[in-house]
């Protein structure tokens, strides 16, 4: 039988069918093929499916935080003041060193602004010398004017004293003349009575009248002299007042010129020497210059920090990370001076968020920033009081800007592409 079938298959394969078809027909004679799956294989497939379901569920439910790393530094909230010179010059004498406590208004440095003539002398020094000569001349004129005023006053007082003495004498003469005049008038009246009785001659009466007229003339002369003395006293007082007024005007003009010269001298000295003073009280920091160094008004001479500073964190955040930030939010600080792997992160709470952007090309920011940023201030946690923080210490901060699931992150490119289409 088998031989017959084999011969038949050989015949058919040579004439009609391919060998593969004949082989399949041959296998059907032994029953339907069955795919055999071992139990271990089934368990493995089910386990893989369960793991896939767990991973998918975790990816769909687990949220991951979106963070933005920014830079910042520590700032003394109760006052770090950078002290600048109002103009350039050469430091002649530094009067403080790093760590010194200074009071408000205390001199920190004396700066000279040199300018030289052909002879080698400083130009301002020559100007100051000329001004000092003019000041000395005006002071001498003021002294001479005061001496002249004193002499005029003494002369006027002597003249007034002489006039008053003369007036007293004239007054005595006037009293005497009045008494003589009264006696002469009485004598004349008596002579008239005698002449009326014929006891005396006319010549005797005329002689009495002549004496009376002479006494009256002397009396009126004395009165005129007294009046002249009084007028001279008034004229003397008036002349003294005029001279005093003229001298005072002269002295006022001289003092005005002297004040102007002193002001010009101070300005010249200020142009040559000027002092840099402390605007606030505190402790000196970051003093890098020495005597003889050039002072640049664009760069701070020193920084003054309060003796017991209260530090805060200042973060410079780009606009892309600003959307979901708010006051009261916690940020994590990683100080450059305290490595993360050894000390970990330190918390700070946002206290304020700037409302306008800072352009690093316009503002002096002590960080490597190449784009506009917003200033955010944060309050440090109490645990950081144990650290030896200093104003200006830099750190990296992690800002939480949002969150999403792992599955959303995986399909984010497709979602973004769909939004564009």
**CA separation for the pair 394, 379 (Å, rounded):** 15
The residues facing 71 across adjacent strands are: 316, 396
Q: Do 17 and 30 reside in the same domain of the chain? A: yes
pLDDT of 302 > 60? The answer is yes
Q: Which of the pair, 47 or 413, is modelled with greater confidence?
A: 47
pLDDT at 4: 42
> CA of 286: how far to CAs of 80, 92, 300, 397, in Å?
11, 19, 9, 25
Tokens matching residue 106: 């205390």
The residues facing 374 across adjacent strands are: 317
In a domain, 298, yes or no: no
pLDDT at 284: 87
Query: Which range has the worst mean pLDDT, 120-124, 283-287, 329-333?
Result: 120-124
Number of domains in the chain: 3
Query: Which range has the worst mean pLDDT, 259-263, 342-346, 413-417?
Result: 413-417
**CA separation for the pair 329, 404 (Å, rounded):** 18
In a domain, 304, yes or no: no
Interval 226-251 mean pLDDT: 86
Interval 68-92 mean pLDDT: 82
- CATH number for the domain spanning 170: value is 1.10.287
Q: Which of the pair, 126 or 85, is modelled with greater confidence?
A: 85
Interval 339-349 mean pLDDT: 87
- Do the beta carbons of residue 98 and residue 124 sit within 8 Å? no
State the chain's mean pLDDT as an integer: 79
pLDDT at 408: 64
State the residue range of the domain holding 26: 2-63
pLDDT of 21 > 70? The answer is no
Q: Which of the pair, 402 or 14, is modelled with greater confidence?
A: 402
**CA separation for the pair 372, 232 (Å, rounded):** 90
DSSP 139-186: HHHHHHHHHHHHHHHHHHHHHHHHHHHHHHHHHHHHHHHHHHHHHHHH
Per-residue pLDDT band at 62 (split at 50, 70, 90): low
- CATH number for the domain spanning 338: value is 2.40.30.170
In a domain, 84, yes or no: no
Q: Do 138 and 169 reside in the same domain of the chain? A: yes
Q: Do 26 and 140 reside in the same domain of the chain? A: no
Interval 153-173 mean pLDDT: 84
Per-residue pLDDT band at 128 (split at 50, 70, 90): confident
Q: Do 321 and 241 reside in the same domain of the chain? A: no
pLDDT at 13: 46
Q: Do 134 and 163 reside in the same domain of the chain? A: yes
């Amino acid at each position: 039988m088998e031989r017959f079938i084999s011969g038949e298959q050989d015949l058919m394969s040579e004439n009609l069918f391919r060998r593969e078809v004949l082989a399949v027909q041959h296998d059907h004679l032994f029953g339907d093929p069955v795919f055999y799956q071992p139990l271990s294989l089934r368990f493995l497939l089910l386990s893989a499916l369960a793991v896939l379901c767990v991973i998918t569920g975790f990816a769909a439910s687990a949220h991951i935080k979106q963070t933005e790393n920014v830079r910042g530094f520590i700032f003394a909230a109760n006052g770090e003041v950078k002290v600048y010179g109002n103009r350039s010059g050469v430091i002649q004498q530094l009067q403080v060193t790093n760590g010194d406590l200074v009071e408000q208004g205390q001199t920190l440095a004396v700066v000279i602004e040199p300018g030289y003539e052909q002879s080698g002398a400083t130009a301002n020094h020559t100007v100051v010398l000329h001004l000092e000569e003019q000041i000395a001349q005006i002071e001498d004129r003021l002294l001479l004017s005061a001496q002249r005023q004193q002499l005029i006053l003494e002369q006027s007082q002597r003249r007034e004293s002489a006039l008053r003495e003369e007036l007293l004498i004239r007054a005595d003469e006037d009293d005497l003349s009045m008494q003589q005049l009264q006696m002469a008038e009485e004598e004349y009246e008596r002579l008239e009575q005698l002449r009326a009785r014929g006891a005396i001659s006319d010549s005797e009466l005329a002689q009495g009248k002549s004496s009376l007229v002479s006494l009256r003339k002397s009396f009126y002369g004395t009165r005129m002299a007294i009046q002249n003395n009084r007028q001279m006293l008034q004229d003397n007082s008036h002349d003294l007042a005029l001279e005093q007024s003229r001298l005072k005007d002269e002295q006022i003009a001289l003092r005005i010129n002297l004040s102007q010269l002193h002001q010009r001298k101070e300005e010249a000295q200020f142009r040559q020497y000027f002092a840099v003073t402390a605007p606030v009280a505190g402790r000196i920091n970051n003093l890098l210059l020495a005597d003889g160094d050039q002072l640049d008004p664009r760069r701070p001479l020193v920084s003054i920090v309060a003796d017991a500073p209260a530090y805060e964190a200042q973060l410079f955040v780009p606009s892309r990370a600003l959307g979901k930030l708010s006051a009261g939010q916690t940020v994590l600080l990683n100080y450059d001076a305290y490595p993360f792997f050894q000390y970990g992160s330190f918390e700070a709470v946002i206290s304020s968020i700037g409302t306008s952007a800072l352009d690093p090309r316009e503002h002096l920011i002590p960080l490597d920033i190449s784009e506009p940023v917003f200033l955010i201030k944060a309050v440090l946690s109490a645990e950081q009081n144990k650290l030896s923080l200093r104003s200006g210490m830099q750190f990296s901060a992690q800002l939480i800007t949002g969150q999403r699931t792992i599955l959303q992150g995986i399909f984010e490119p497709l979602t973004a592409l769909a939004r564009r289409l």
